[in-house]
Structure 1
């Protein structure tokens, strides 16, 4: 060891060897970097653009309404495809279950009546209003059997009434009873989804059924039912298009296109009611005479969310809180579109 350290020639040889090894290491690193770069370029070259680009999706919850017609026509997919957005459709029987799906992150967009957003917001669902329809009071009503002794709303006192809890008809019934001198507690409410409510109504298990279209017209024509009262002069009965706050913040362009396409169908439907009924009949699998009735009762048009519309919803929220139907008082403005603001 001492001899090696004291021999200048031996030290020179070590330095030469080290230099050679360093040069080899650097050359190897360059080769590896070059190979890695070529490999990455090859992967990029053969990866489809659709895979490399950021993918977006719009998951639409829908019921028997214009959204089902939008699904059939495929125009939403055509509009969104250039943006790299795919559309997934999920059918629901009623609004409350749609908003449960929104709360757990299963859908991004859908339509419901006046009441479901109130219950959803009260339960902490991060909902945001996207757009509203014009008022449509004639498309929801209280049905009774044709032979029923119930002739006025006051006659409903003590009767069993079927309805979907938390749906648009829930608020309608509350206001209808109040208008006719009855309280929410003066009737026996039976919470049933539309299909189950129809069965109970047909078997005589309940005395009345509060329901919306197209179930309303179908029951009139096939169950010998008659309308006791509809929502005209009682509530406005708008439908609302909704999303989650997170989705709306990141995908405002997608939601705007969806509303545009729905409004196009509204405008077309208003001018072509017979053709609309024929198309809806095919989509829903209902006889055209049934659909003709509901189309005749319908109003058409889509409106942006405004402060006056939010004020309408606040009245509903306050009513439900007073009746202890929701667990806490809410401010509907917390669900306003970002562009409108909370003020």
Structure 2
């Protein structure tokens, strides 16, 4: 089993490979630096419509935006002081905290369990989770769907040892799924919606009643503790654009499609499964996150148990 020091060294090596390096203390203490991923449509809309800039200008703050390919690199940018705020899924904050990142949970998007699922090819004989016994299952290791798979197996009298996991990133997993080299795929939207529409993939089970699938707004501890009023204004701006998306899902899909290289029908199917609305972090949500952290520790995906509430935003609450 990997120990904590080895885990930290591996994490550091991965982040060096991503090109992220630590920066000195910010020269301009009035610039709020947002990190975002290509799939974070609400932050993309927030950026393009200038809502955040209008919210922060009256209190003397400007805004910059930096795109990242994945959650772990995004969180490391917060940790080393390169950015201040970003949106990720459930798993990256757990891995970041396990590696010693000085970041906090600032807010969240509500649970959207229908946005992740175990799917199979349309002609597969697999009909239930119990049918996965002995089968080869593709998933992204350490992601939110890793927890969904564990919970689904447990709920059907199976364990992780009853299946053959194939740890693959989404693009590689889709290729394996299409050519039949895996029997099932545990995946999230929009990849899930794309597989349904393009491949006629069939649902075995989604996260309903098994895994919450919460997205988290993470912040550097420095920005959260030193400028809580700014962070609250940012969460308010995010909730504003979330409100528009919630009420205009079709238009959102049409506008976002060319920006992220997906069809509008894939995006619309995904967003129609979303529960939308930025909220301040709360004890009940962190309790759910603790359950995932405990499951990852039991699977030795992180070197030891951790206390999620150590990374809770407390100042200004």
Asked if TM exceeds 0.5, the reply is yes
Is the alpha carbon distance of 1:206 and 1:108 closer, same or farther for their aligned partners in structure 2, counting shifts above 3 Å?
A: farther
TM-fit CA distance, 1:178: 0.8
Map of 1:207 onto structure 2 = 183
Q: Say yes or no: does 1:227 pair with 2:198.
A: no
Q: Say yes or no: does 1:58 pair with 2:33.
A: yes
Q: List structure 1 runs of 4+ shifted beyond 4 angstroms.
A: 52-55
Larger Rg: 1
**Paired residue secondary structure (1:178):** helix
Q: Is the 8 A contact 1:71 1:89 kept in 2?
A: no
Match of 1:270 among 227, 234, 246: 246
Is the alpha carbon distance of 1:80 and 1:325 closer, same or farther for their aligned partners in structure 2, counting shifts above 3 Å?
A: same
Q: Distance in 1 between matches of 2:29 and 2:96?
A: 31
Map of 1:184 onto structure 2 = 160
Q: TM-score, normalised by structure 2?
A: 0.83
- The range that moved more, 133-142 or 315-324, is 315-324
Q: Is the 8 A contact 2:35 2:74 kept in 1?
A: no
Q: Distance in 2 between matches of 1:75 and 1:250?
A: 23
Is the alpha carbon distance of 1:289 and 1:59 closer, same or farther for their aligned partners in structure 2, counting shifts above 3 Å?
A: closer
Q: Distance in 1 between matches of 2:253 and 2:306?
A: 39
Is the alpha carbon distance of 1:182 and 1:255 closer, same or farther for their aligned partners in structure 2, counting shifts above 3 Å?
A: same
Map of 2:62 onto structure 1 = 85
Unaligned runs of 5+ in 1: 1-51
Q: Say yes or no: does 1:124 pair with 2:74.
A: no
**Paired residue secondary structure (2:64):** strand
* Cα-Cα RMSD: 2.2
Q: Is the 8 A contact 2:38 2:260 kept in 1?
A: no
Is the alpha carbon distance of 1:96 and 1:193 closer, same or farther for their aligned partners in structure 2, counting shifts above 3 Å?
A: farther
Match of 1:166 among 138, 142, 151: 142
TM-fit CA distance, 1:53: 6.9
C-alpha deviations, 1:204-235, integer Å up to 9, x for none?
Answer: 22222111111111111112312211101111
Q: Say yes or no: does 1:302 pair with 2:268.
A: no
Q: Is the 8 A contact 2:228 2:315 kept in 1?
A: no
Q: Distance in 1 between matches of 2:152 and 2:253?
A: 29
Q: Distance in 2 between matches of 1:330 and 1:340?
A: 24
TM-fit CA distance, 1:88: 2.0
Map of 2:259 onto structure 1 = 283
Q: Distance in 2 between matches of 1:132 and 1:256?
A: 13
Q: Is the 8 A contact 2:34 2:66 kept in 1?
A: yes
Tell me: higher relative CO, structure 1 or 2? Use CA pairs within 8 A at least 6 residues apart.
2
Q: TM-score, normalised by structure 1?
A: 0.78
Counting only pairs closer than 5 Å after superposition, residues 1-343 of structure 1 correspond to structure 2 as: 54-65=29-40, 66-82=42-58, 83-92=60-69, 94-339=70-315
TM-fit CA distance, 1:100: 3.8
